[in-house]
């Protein structure tokens, strides 16, 4: 099983995937920025983003497979009718 990322590696992976790494704004900080999301929440967000990417690729594969099935059925029908 793949080990969960933590710290800087987790933050870098989140940025790669376009995941928001900032936590909820509870109080105004002196810098005006909200604190970074805790690792457990950031891990959940990264896993969700990775899963969404895989699902979109599988959806494309399913559509291509369906089109191939229809073409195969049409070819078989034409072969039988000739």
Q: What is the three-state SS of 6-69?
A: CHHHHHHHHHHHCCCCECCCCCCCCCCCCCECCHHHHHHHHHHHHHHHHHHHHHHHHHHHHHHH
Segment 37-56, tens digit of pLDDT: 788 888 999 999 999 999 98
3-state DSSP assignment of residue 2:
coil
Q: Are the beta carbons of 54 and 22 closer than 8 angstroms?
A: no
pTM over 0.75: no
Q: Are the beta carbons of 22 and 33 closer than 8 angstroms?
A: yes
Segment 11-34, tens digit of pLDDT: 888 889 888 888 665 555 555 566
């Amino acid at each position: 099983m793949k080990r969960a990322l933590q710290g800087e590696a987790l933050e870098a992976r989140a940025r790669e995937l376009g995941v928001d790494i900032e936590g909820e704004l509870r109080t105004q900080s002196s810098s005006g920025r909200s604190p970074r999301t805790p690792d457990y929440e950031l891990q959940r967000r990264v896993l969700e983003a990775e899963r969404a990417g895989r699902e979109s690729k599988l959806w494309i594969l399913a559509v291509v497979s369906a089109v191939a099935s229809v073409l195969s059925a049409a070819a078989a029908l034409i072969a039988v009718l000739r």
